[in-house]
Amino acid sequence: MIDILLVPLALVFVLVMLHSYFGMGILKRGIIFTDLAIAQFAALGSSISLGYFHHEYFYVLTLSFALLSAFLIAFASQRELKLEAFIGILYVLGASGIMMVLANSAEGMEHFKSLLASDILFTPLDEVLKSALIYALIALALWKVYPRLTGFVKELAFFSLLAITVTSSVALAGVLVVFVLLIAPALMATSLNLKHPLFGSFAFGWSFSSAAIVLSYYYDLPTGYTIVFLGAFLSAVLVLLTSKKA
């Protein structure tokens, strides 16, 4: 059992750390569905790779579409418009585009299901190590370069680094898993007014993700969807129980 669970546990350990940081930034900006929109555009790029190029140019197309959405969101954030509504439009644009691209593909629905939430229980170790290297470079950029930037360039850097993160994460875990790992830990930590909310979000994300992996193994459940359900359920309950009456 330990041999099977070790790799997915290592994967969620890596995913939670960087996604919690971005989740805190997203909540601070008040644009909750940013990651979903970027993830859908990344998924659209991967769908085009499958539908039209037989899985060739997968990473290039996935990253290109994710970066395109990141640029559009960063640009829109500097304009006087309803930003959340604009991001919602981008989300449905990406989602509908995926369905159109995959409509005539024999593998279309299976690919679509894996795009939403992958079965990370059987993720190859080399994929985890590759993603860990990408995340480490992104973390280095956030630590050394990002604080020195200002204005539009700083916003563009944040959303671009988020897009690169999401590109790797969607391929590994799926759109819904990415969303719950970004939002649930950060929401829980900020709702509890923790002294160190980022560390609190790490702990919460690791806890529910690890528990979901073990549950999915013992009860033969889809791992990705179990992570999404448990993270969403626990964060919703905790937020409701700890929030004050308006």
pLDDT digits (tens, 9 = 90+) for 217-245: 999 999 999 999 999 999 999 999 988 87
44 pLDDT band, cuts 50/70/90, is: very high
pTM: 0.89
Q: Residues 6-20: what's their mean pLDDT?
A: 92
What is the spatial distance between Cα 189 and Cα 77, in angstroms, rounded to a whole number?
Answer: 25
Q: Which residue matches tokens 């013992």?
A: 218
pLDDT digits (tens, 9 = 90+) for 154-171: 999 999 999 999 988 988
Q: Residues 24-46: what's their mean pLDDT?
A: 90
CB 188 within 8 A of CB 200: yes
pLDDT digits (tens, 9 = 90+) for 89-107: 999 999 999 989 888 776 7
Cβ–Cβ contacts within 10 Å for residue 112, how many? 19
- Which pLDDT score, from 0 to 100, does residue 87 have? 94
pLDDT digits (tens, 9 = 90+) for 197-218: 999 999 999 999 999 999 999 9
Backbone angles phi, psi at 57, to 5 degrees: 55, 30
What is the spatial distance between Cα 76 and Cα 92, in angstroms, rounded to a whole number?
Answer: 17
Q: Shortest CA distance to 18 belongs to which of 182, 168, 129, 218? A: 182
Backbone angles phi, psi at 194, to 5 degrees: -70, 150
Range with the poorest average pLDDT among 27-31, 66-70, 181-185 = 27-31
What is the spatial distance between Cα 27 and Cα 140, in angstroms, rounded to a whole number?
Answer: 22
Report the amino acid identity of residue 200: G
CATH class for the domain made up of 2-242 = mainly alpha
CB 113 within 8 A of CB 104: no
Q: Which residue matches tokens 């140019």?
A: 57
Checking if the pLDDT of 180 tops 70, the result is yes
Checking if the pLDDT of 52 tops 70, the result is yes
* Structural domain spans, the chain: 2-242
Checking if the pLDDT of 2 tops 70, the result is no
CB 191 within 8 A of CB 242: yes
CB 213 within 8 A of CB 12: yes
Q: What is the mean pLDDT of the chain?
A: 90
Higher model confidence: residue 109 or residue 139? Answer: 139
Q: Which residue matches tokens 């679509």?
A: 112
Checking if the pLDDT of 150 tops 80, the result is yes
